Amino acid sequence: MLDPAVTEVEALLTAAAARRAAPPLASGGPRLSVTHALAVCACITLDDAPTWLLYVTADGGFGWTRDPDGDEPLALVDAQFAAVEHAAPSDVLAWLQGSTNGSFGDGGPELRAVLDALAQVTAAGR
């Protein structure tokens, strides 16, 4: 059974990507050059949840994808700054909705820099 927050997370990511579209990732092609990338393993749940790759391009574009099982999500991009976060889908949803409560993003300075860059492009239109 899919975690109930997954659908809402993906709807918010899709809306953010529609506002500031970044080039899509090339399947089997060259890695996309991005400034910031975040792999979110939404594994802190009893239900099923995907791993997401969120990325920002130099021109401020935003993109995301569901990572196929078994792939290394950060291998899809060439990122200046990259981080991995393990989180509950509900915590990802709260972060996308602008909440600063919860444990999402409690990592070090590299994670904070990536999250700050992502927040700038995903927050528009909230």
- Walk me through the domains of the chain, giving residue ranges and CATH numbers: 4-122 (3.30.1050)
Asked whether the CA dihedral 95, 16, 125, 56 is positive or negative, the reply is positive
pLDDT per residue over 38-77, tens digit each?
Answer: 999 988 888 899 999 999 999 999 999 998 666 788 999 9
Contact 114, 74 (CB under 8 A): no
pTM of the model: 0.90
Rounded Cα–Cα distance for residues 17 and 62 (Å): 5
pLDDT per residue over 3-41, tens digit each?
Answer: 999 999 999 999 999 999 999 888 777 899 999 999 999
Q: What is the end-to-end Cα distance of the chain in Å, rounded?
A: 29
E-assigned strands of the chain?
32-41, 51-56, 62-67, 77-86
